[in-house]
């Protein structure tokens, strides 16, 4: 059993924990033992497992950013000790000739505080060790996506070495290539859907859908399509990769994909955005499940429901949002009360004053991050 870290942004960790529990990767009630989880509310969840858990977490988790495998943990107070410990790790299981390695270090309250020097020393120790074992690693070229990414964390002289198993971050499902303005990360869109408690059978509407992230994630969720179904992962490049195990995990997941007739709507007043939605949904294999329409919020028709409105309207990053935005939010609230009364809502906004213009009364306001911007997901019922 190894330690595996399911990294997730602050705000999404509770949903990653729930997803991990649904997958049977952890038991949230267990204090100790194999299925116990160590929850770090700002950064993710540590679980125990091996290849199967790594493969399943990467394939299925909708809200996690990356899955890391812990290769080692030890105390260090100088570079010689760091190099010694690093060179003893089993690099040949994970890396092969010609592959590139990027090392990132974070250090706090430790004698080895110079992060660039730690990165350089670890990188050199791994490359030298590989050379001794008969294979050659390289530093990635500028702009090159590395084959392997190693995270070195030193806290109070305790050094933890984690190897990324995901490759590209997990929000990159592979379908979203056409972008509209201010797109949401796929992981955040999935987090909003989970936080909204959408029942996956009632209608779902995103009236500010931009590039379509929320409706597409909704369609994938309702059909039980794994978010990692269409992409590759770093662990597939490992010499120790178990192709048979991976194929069997994929086959089980594919058998669980369902047809779905749940009505999902995406609307945006911008024609370019609607076009981007169609292209993205096509790539995600979700186009036939979503009704996209070019439409301003003021023209939102009465929809059969009740259902869920899950959306992130435009927002200024400052508290003093312009009067156009304030009017838009006031209008949005009025439209929801007339077209979607008694529906549930989950609305992402960085600015509470702006949100209040809708005169919707949230039951909860969950703090989340949209990239670097602190936002809240306001959840409640339209009354």
What residues line the site for ligand SAM (CB under 6 A)?
180-184, 207-211, 213-214, 268-270, 273, 296-297, 312-314, 328
Q: How far is the CB of 272 from ligand SAM (least distance, A)?
A: 8
Q: How far is the CB of 319 from ligand SAM (least distance, A)?
A: 18
Nearer to ligand SAM by Cβ, of 210 and 228: the residue is: 210
Q: How far is the CB of 292 from ligand SAM (least distance, A)?
A: 12
Nearer to ligand SAM by Cβ, of 112 and 184: the residue is: 184
Is 382 within 8 Å of 342 (Cβ atoms)?
yes
Q: How far is the CB of 278 from ligand SAM (least distance, A)?
A: 13
Q: What phi, psi does 117 have (nearest 5°)?
A: -65, -40
CA distances to 201, 222, 264, 266, 272 from 261, rounded to whole Å, are: 8, 9, 9, 15, 27
Nearer to ligand SAM by Cβ, of 38 and 324: the residue is: 324
d(CA 346, CA 380): 7
Q: How far is the CB of 312 from ligand SAM (least distance, A)?
A: 5
d(CA 347, CA 178): 23
Nearer to ligand SAM by Cβ, of 92 and 270: the residue is: 270
Question: Whose CA is closest to 346, among 189, 210, 219?
Answer: 189
For residue 151, list its beta bridge partners.
104, 162
Helix 13-22 vs helix 186-196: crossing angle, to nearest 10: 80
Nearer to ligand SAM by Cβ, of 253 and 330: the residue is: 330
d(CA 123, CA 373): 32
């Amino acid at each position: 059993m190894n330690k595996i870290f399911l990294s997730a942004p602050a705000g999404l960790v509770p949903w990653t924990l729930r997803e991990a529990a649904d997958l049977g990767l952890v038991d949230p009630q267990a204090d100790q033992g194999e299925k116990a989880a160590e929850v770090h509310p700002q950064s993710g969840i540590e679980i125990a497992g091996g290849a199967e858990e790594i493969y399943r977490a990467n394939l299925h988790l909708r809200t996690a950013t990356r899955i890391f495998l812990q290769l080692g943990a030890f105390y260090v107070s100088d570079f010689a000790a760091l190099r010694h410990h690093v060179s003893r790790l089993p690099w040949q299981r994970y890396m092969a000739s010609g592959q590139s390695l990027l090392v990132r270090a974070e250090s706090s309250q430790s004698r080895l505080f110079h992060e660039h020097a730690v990165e350089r020393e670890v990188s050199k120790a791994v490359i030298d060790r590989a050379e001794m074992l008969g294979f050659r690693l390289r530093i990635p070229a500028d702009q090159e996506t590395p084959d392997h990414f190693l995270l070195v964390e030193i806290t109070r002289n305790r050094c933890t070495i984690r190897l990324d198993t995901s490759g590209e971050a997990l929000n990159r499902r592979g379908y979203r290539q056409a972008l509209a303005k201010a797109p949401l990360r796929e992981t955040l869109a999935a987090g909003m859907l989970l936080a909204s408690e959408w029942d996956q059978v009632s209608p779902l509407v995103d009236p500010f859908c931009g590039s379509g992230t929320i409706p597409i994630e909704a369609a994938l969720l309702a059909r039980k399509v794994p978010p990692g179904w269409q992409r590759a992962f770093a662990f597939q490049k490992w010499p120790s990769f178990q192709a048979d195990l991976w194929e069997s995990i994929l086959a089980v997941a594919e058998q669980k994909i369902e047809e779905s007739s749940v009505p999902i709507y995406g609307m945006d007043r911008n024609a370019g955005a609607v076009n981007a939605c169609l292209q993205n949904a096509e790539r995600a294999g979700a186009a036939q499940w979503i009704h996209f329409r070019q439409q301003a919020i003021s023209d939102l028709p009465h929809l059969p429901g009740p259902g869920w409105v899950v959306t992130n309207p435009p927002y200024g990053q400052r508290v003093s949002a312009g009067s156009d935005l304030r009017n838009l939010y006031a209008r949005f609230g009025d439209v929801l009360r007339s077209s979607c009364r008694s529906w549930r809502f989950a609305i992402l906004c960085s600015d509470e004053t702006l949100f209040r213009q809708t005169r919707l009364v949230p039951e909860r306001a969950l703090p989340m991050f949209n990239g670097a911007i602190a936002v809240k997901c306001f959840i409640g019922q339209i009354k």
